[in-house]
């Protein structure tokens, strides 16, 4: 299967701390791939690299055969027009209506006339179940509706790759399940490559057909969802069975950690 994304020997530092430790993996075209792992494993940092918000210390990120890690700012801006991103908080502009939020990418990056943009905006809002809410402001919406509005904006430019950062964060189980169903429907209808960063097991099982798992900045699993479920890797089993990791510090060591002694 052709790969949409190929990451090779990616290394990232925050100050003196190595976050991603030479990781390599591929994501097949047309899959819904989840990037999973515990808090602090590096998955959000990886997402920032995939959407061009961070430059790595070394390594390459080929997306449809173009290395975005080596692009200049102008080329990277052009690349970003071909992707959509739903940030964890939806990142809507509070001073703009939903329609204005969705229209913004089209106004900034196309030469479409206002009547055409209005039609596209209505289509995108209807796509995510927000038909009739174009004149509402973000403050007037529930958390789930904000996420849907964020998806509508991410879809405005008909991206070839759609990224989600913790889409279920802060949502009740029913609303989260509805969002999972929306992600599945978008993937089914538009046949795009979808990449989702999450640690929510119900969402992983509901939407994924491919999994990349990180642990402490290293890749510990890459493959199909069914193989992920059956993996005997201890780190995968700990994650899937929701077992707490063993702590190596004693009360004395804990005192030293919190006091810096």
| 58-63 β-sheet, strand order | 17-28, 3-14, 58-63, 66-67
Q: What percent of the chain has pLDDT over 90?
A: 77
Domains of the chain: which residue ranges?
3-82+160-259, 91-158
**Backbone CA torsion sign across 198, 199, 202, 204:** positive
The residue among 205, 108, 187, 115 whose CA lies nearest residue 151 is: 187
> Into which CATH architecture does domain 3-82+160-259 fall?
3-Layer(aba) Sandwich (3.40)
Per the CB < 8 A criterion, the answer to whether 71 and 150 are in contact is no
End-to-end CA distance of the chain: 54
The rounded distance, in Å, linking the Cα atoms of 136 and 209 is 35
- What digits encode the pLDDT tens for the residues 18-38? 999 999 999 999 999 999 998
Per the CB < 8 A criterion, the answer to whether 85 and 151 are in contact is no
- What digits encode the pLDDT tens for the residues 55-100? 999 999 999 889 999 999 999 988 888 899 998 888 999 999 999 9
Backbone angles phi, psi at 98, to 5 degrees: -60, -45
């Amino acid at each position: 299967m052709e790969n949409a994304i190929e990451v090779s020997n990616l290394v990232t530092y925050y100050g003196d701390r190595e976050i991603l430790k030479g990781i390599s993996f591929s994501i097949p075209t047309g899959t819904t791939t989840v990037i999973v792992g515990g808090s602090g494993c590096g998955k959000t940092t990886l997402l920032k690299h995939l959407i061009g918000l961070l430059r790595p210390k070394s390594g390459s990120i080929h997306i449809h055969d173009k290395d975005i890690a080596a692009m200049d700012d102008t080329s990277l801006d052009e690349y970003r027009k071909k992707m959509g991103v739903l940030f964890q908080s939806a990142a809507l502009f509070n001073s703009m209506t939903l329609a204005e939020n969705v229209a913004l990418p089209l106004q900034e990056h196309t030469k479409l006339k206002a009547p055409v943009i209005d039609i596209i905006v209505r289509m995108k809002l209807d796509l995510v179940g927000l038909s009739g809410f174009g004149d509402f402001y973000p403050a007037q919406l529930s958390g789930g509706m904000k996420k849907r509005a964020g998806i509508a904006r991410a879809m405005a430019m008909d991206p070839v790759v759609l990224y989600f950062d913790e889409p279920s964060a802060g949502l009740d189980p029913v609303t989260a399940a509805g969002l999972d169903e929306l992600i599945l429907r978008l993937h089914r209808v538009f046949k795009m490559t979808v990449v989702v960063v999450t640690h929510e097991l119900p969402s992983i099982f509901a939407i994924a057909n491919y999994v990349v798992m990180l642990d402490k900045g290293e890749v510990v699993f890459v493959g199909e969802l069914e193989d992920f479920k059956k993996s005997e890797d201890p780190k995968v089993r700990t994650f899937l069975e929701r077992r707490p990791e063993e702590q190596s510090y004693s009360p004395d060591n804990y005192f030293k950690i919190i006091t810096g002694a």
